[in-house]
Each structure stands twice: as structure tokens, then as C-alpha cells.
Structure 1
Amino acid sequence: MPRRFPHVYRGRCFCGSIRVSFEAHTPPRATPLRSCTCTFCLKHGARNTSDPEGRARLEIRRPGRLSRFDFRPQTGGRLLCGFCGAYVATARCIGGRWLATINVNALDRTQEFTQRPRLMDYSGESAAETRARRAAKWTPAEIVLRKR
């Protein structure tokens, strides 16, 4: 029997080419948020969250519009829509499984996430430390590519 989560959030990029669902144990007002201090996240105003006991699904409805940005090779790729420019999530395959952190600004109920984001500076981490942190804290994810 599939596991049920008390809180299910859905969202998408502006044009709908990338859709996301995020299932978690915490309500939006209690969900901890992070804002990375890298220039990418600062320029996008990103507010990310994850639940290592939750579940995420990223559905790429138009794969030709998917754009990945990865300024630290081997640590994870930010998933953006190459058409409308929205930053939806960052995902990485670690230890044979996909993990993701979700930008709550891409969710339909973004205004319900009211926690002040904790500023995070990961610049001192090695690639191995980054992968270990993500393996422990990010949300297990499924990435689905739709063919048109």
C-alpha cells in the first residue's frame, strides 16, 4: 500500500512545462525553509525545502524546455524552465536514487510557507560533503520525462 502524507503541495513553472508535487509531514507554516547565499539562489529569490521522509515528483512535460544549471559540477543540477525561466527544484542522483530540494516559490500555495528562510552558506563544503548532506536531508524524488 502506498505511503500517505498529510500534506501534499503541487506547483509548476509559469508555462507548465515542469510540474512538481511535494509530499511532506509538516504543514506549510511549520515547514523549514532555506535560502542559499550563492548568487544563483540570491538572484532567483529561492526559498527551498526538503523532507527526507517525504516524496517529490518532478514531471517534465516538455523535455526540450528543461534547462539545467550546475555551477558546481558533480553536486546537483538546478532545474529551470528554458522557456519561462522559472527555477523549480534542484535534483541529483546520489547512491542510485534521485533526491531533490523544492523551491517553494514554484508551488501553488507558496504564500502559506511563512517561515523565515535560514540563510545557508555551503561554499566551504567539498563535493563529497555536499553529496553526504544532500543524501541525509533531501527528499526522495521521481523524475518523469513526458514525450510529446
Structure 2
Amino acid sequence: MTLHKGGCYCGTIEIGFYVDDTLSLVPRACDCDFCEKHGAEWVSAATGSLDITIKDKANLQLFKQGSETADLWICKNCGVVACVTYNTGDKLVGAVNRRALDDCSIFTSAQTISPKSLSTSEKKARWSELWIQKVQVNGVTP
């Protein structure tokens, strides 16, 4: 597995994204208002894993996206949106903002997706299938 390190600018949020085949991953540019305004491009692999470490809990903001089902991990200090998670009830799944990875330029151009056209249950099903299935959080409880 290849490790892709990253996080926010000031170091409050650190992420480690482990994946088998980096070159096959196509970032997804979500067309929701939040992601468009922040320029987020999401990468994930169901067979990968994600480690999230919070260095300063006071600088972490978990922001609920439009349907109020997923948490966007944002640094209050530097404003970077590092990753997104969703609690399925059985486990935490997630995706990484390509722009928060140190080696973000190795990924291909983003493909635009339109979750605005999906119902909340369709979004949850999509996330449960496409997002990283092994997410570990250190420093806080999501």
C-alpha cells in the first residue's frame, strides 16, 4: 500500500491515506455549494484506509454538509478542509480532499459529480460503497 500524507496548513489536522493503486483514483469535484466554494476534490478507495490525527482539538470544526449526514473536517485556524466522514452506524467511512494531500499533483484532473441530485438515502448508499472503509481517528471522537 502507498501512503499519501497530508492535512491542514498549520498541522492541526494530519491525514494518512493508504491505497493500493493511486493511479486508478479519479478525484471527484462535488457540485454542492460548500465543495465548490472550497475547491474540494475528493479521493477515496473502498479498500484503502485513512488515519486522521487531531493535534489541537480546539481548532477542529466538524461541519455538517447540506443533508446533515456527513462531517467535513475543517481547521478553524487555517481554514483547510482536509477530509469528510460519515458514520454508517457500524463504522466510520471517509474521503480525503485531494488538495489537502502533500502529493496532490500526482492525481488526474477531477471529474465533476452531482450529489445535489441524490436523495439522502442515495448519498449514504454511495458513500458506503465508494468511500474509504477503514477510518481511524486519533485525538478526538467524531
Normalised TM-score (structure 1) = 0.88
Q: Which residue of 1 aligns with 2:88?
A: 94
Q: Work out which of the residue numbers 62, 87, 104 in structure 2 matches 1:68.
A: 62
Displacement of 1:129 in angstroms is 1.2
RMSD: 1.3
Kindly, what percent of the aligned residue pairs are identical?
Answer: 25
Displacement of 1:30 in angstroms is 3.3
The one-character-per-residue Cα deviations of 1:76-122 (angstroms, maximum 9, x if unpaired) are 01110011100100111113201111001111111111x12110111
Displacement of 1:72 in angstroms is 2.5
Q: Which residue of 2 aligns with 1:21?
A: 16
Displacement of 1:43 in angstroms is 1.3
CA separation in 2, counterparts of 1:112 and 1:76?
27
- Of residues 57-66 and 67-76 in structure 1, the stretch that sits farther from structure 2 once superposed is 67-76
Q: Work out which of the residue numbers 123, 126, 139 in structure 2 matches 1:130.
A: 123
The structure whose Rg is larger is: 1
Q: Work out which of the residue numbers 37, 41, 44 in structure 2 matches 1:47.
A: 41
CA separation in 2, counterparts of 1:119 and 1:104?
14
Matched to 2:126, the amino acid is R
Displacement of 1:123 in angstroms is 1.0
Displacement of 1:74 in angstroms is 4.0
